[in-house]
Chains A and B, each alone.
Chain A
């Protein structure tokens, strides 16, 4: 259960150019739900995602995940929370271009220092699931946009996180690849993941497996 309670987020607080990204919002997301946050650019969607992922802290209010107050976590504990609970799919994938697909996918596991057998097992599961096994040793810079996104999804799932967060995941994809991504989301939802997607792509609207669509505008929902 994710809860955002009276969240306000102001960037560059007390400066002349301060930006109010979120204004006293409240939001509850149940375990296993798939939520679409829709709204125009700058409406506050990405800020909500970054707060759930503990990449950012609110200016006031509280974010809790399974009763854990994640907005109060010190940096080192926030990193552990992300490592153990969050799979983040970024708009521009945020992959490392000069290393292989395999190395990119395994990055989140490195701090856990698992043995080689465990690494291979987890790698093979996600590579097969997201159909990227044939590109295992290929450098990421040599992949197409769709392949890069599958690598990003595989990386987000390699830790088997319970929460998947996707920020404008289809912004760089054509319609066919976007529909493929939506199918992947359906599978993840079936697998019981809690999923929060921020998008303004109309392909995501009115999907049968989406639990809720939430309109975000000018920092309010």
Chain B
């Protein structure tokens, strides 16, 4: 077990989260099974009180948990300083069998938690609380993912062996490995970039046409292509090294922590885009979410595009 202050903070928070989420889980189960907004029974009034308490517990867990993702990345970076061979968070993720699963789980949960918060926010805007049953039902599913993340996180931190030499990101994200990552590198950058900018154009088209589901699905595609192009193309311009494809190194001070800004813009933009398609909200709210999504996604595009353009302007050549 590696016990630096950042890991201890995460573990202590996880214990607190587990305790409260278990309480919220059993209350959610009861509310989900017995909720009937039209009933005037004692049970329904009790559930209405409990739903307020339960939603508050869940809300605060998720409100803390969403930004904690950035703290988790920061912690990986801190651990890489004491883990032999690791140059950044990538080495830490790869140091155990659980790192990659945890990372994927955390990204999925990030959207699930944020979606729950959006659903709750929408529910609280209506007198008849139309999403109450749905949001507690959704939490019941989210709870298992949430607990899985906590368990895998604990197992990952306890599995890190400081005496073992781990791979650095240069090896993990090398095009010469036989992994799925190398297959991505084999794809044509022109094709990937066309898809990247093309999907953003699609987002704009669906925004003007007000196609909710198409807009949401385009956002899902946008996050996938954004991460791929960040690793294969844009990242190399941030590092100014054509062979370096790490999605973690630009979170370090050498690159002015730009990775935190990039990921925040990308996750925020796509989150607004995805939720506005899947929550039945008023047209005004939906348009506001669309605009936020477009704005954050555009800022992400502008920022990642800045690096290759400035490199070309300075040097007159592409990498």
The yes or no answer to B129 lying at the interface (CB within 8 A) is yes
Chain B interface residue count, Cβ-Cβ cutoff 8 angstroms? 13
Residue of B37, B52, B128 ringed by the most chain A CB atoms within 10 A:
B128
Contact A71 B40 (CB under 8 A): yes
A 6-25 to B, binary, CB cutoff 8 A, 1 in contact else 0: 10100001000000000000
Known: A58-B45, A59-B45. A75 touches B40 (CB 8 A): no
| Contact residues, B7-58 vs A (CB, 8 A) | 37, 40-42, 45-46, 48-49, 52
Q: Which residues of B contact A5 (CB under 8 A)?
A: 40
Contact A77 B40 (CB under 8 A): no
The yes or no answer to A33 lying at the interface (CB within 8 A) is no
Q: Which residues of B contact A28 (CB under 8 A)?
A: none
Contact B48 A60 (CB under 8 A): no
Question: Across the A-B interface, how many residue pairs have beta carbons closer than 8 Å?
Answer: 34
Smallest beta-carbon distance B30→chain A, Å = 15
B 105-139 to A, binary, CB cutoff 8 A, 1 in contact else 0: 00000000000000000001001110000000000
Contact B40 A62 (CB under 8 A): yes
How far apart sit A108 and B25, CA to CA, in the bound complex (Å)? 38
Contact A6 B40 (CB under 8 A): yes
How far apart sit A8 and B37, CA to CA, in the bound complex (Å)? 18
Contact B124 A60 (CB under 8 A): no
Q: Which residues of B contact A76 (CB under 8 A)?
A: 124
The yes or no answer to A102 lying at the interface (CB within 8 A) is no
A 57-83 to B, binary, CB cutoff 8 A, 1 in contact else 0: 111111000000001111111000000
Smallest beta-carbon distance A82→chain B, Å = 14
- Closest chain A residue to B123 by CB distance? A74
How far apart sit A72 and B41, CA to CA, in the bound complex (Å)? 11
Contact A60 B52 (CB under 8 A): no
Contact A74 B129 (CB under 8 A): yes
Q: Which residues of B contact A59 (CB under 8 A)?
A: 42, 45
Known: A72-B48, A74-B52, A75-B52. A60 touches B40 (CB 8 A): yes
| B interface with A by C-beta (< 8 Å) | 37, 40-42, 45-46, 48-49, 52, 124, 127-129
Q: A57-B49, A71-B45, A72-B127 are in contact. List 9 more A-B contacts (CB 8 A).
A: A5-B40, A6-B40, A13-B46, A59-B45, A61-B40, A72-B37, A72-B48, A74-B127, A77-B127
Interchain residue pairs with CB less than 8 A apart (25): A5-B40, A8-B42, A13-B42, A13-B46, A57-B45, A57-B48, A57-B49, A58-B40, A58-B45, A60-B40, A60-B42, A60-B45, A61-B40, A62-B40, A72-B37, A72-B40, A72-B48, A72-B127, A72-B128, A74-B48, A74-B52, A74-B127, A74-B129, A75-B52, A76-B124
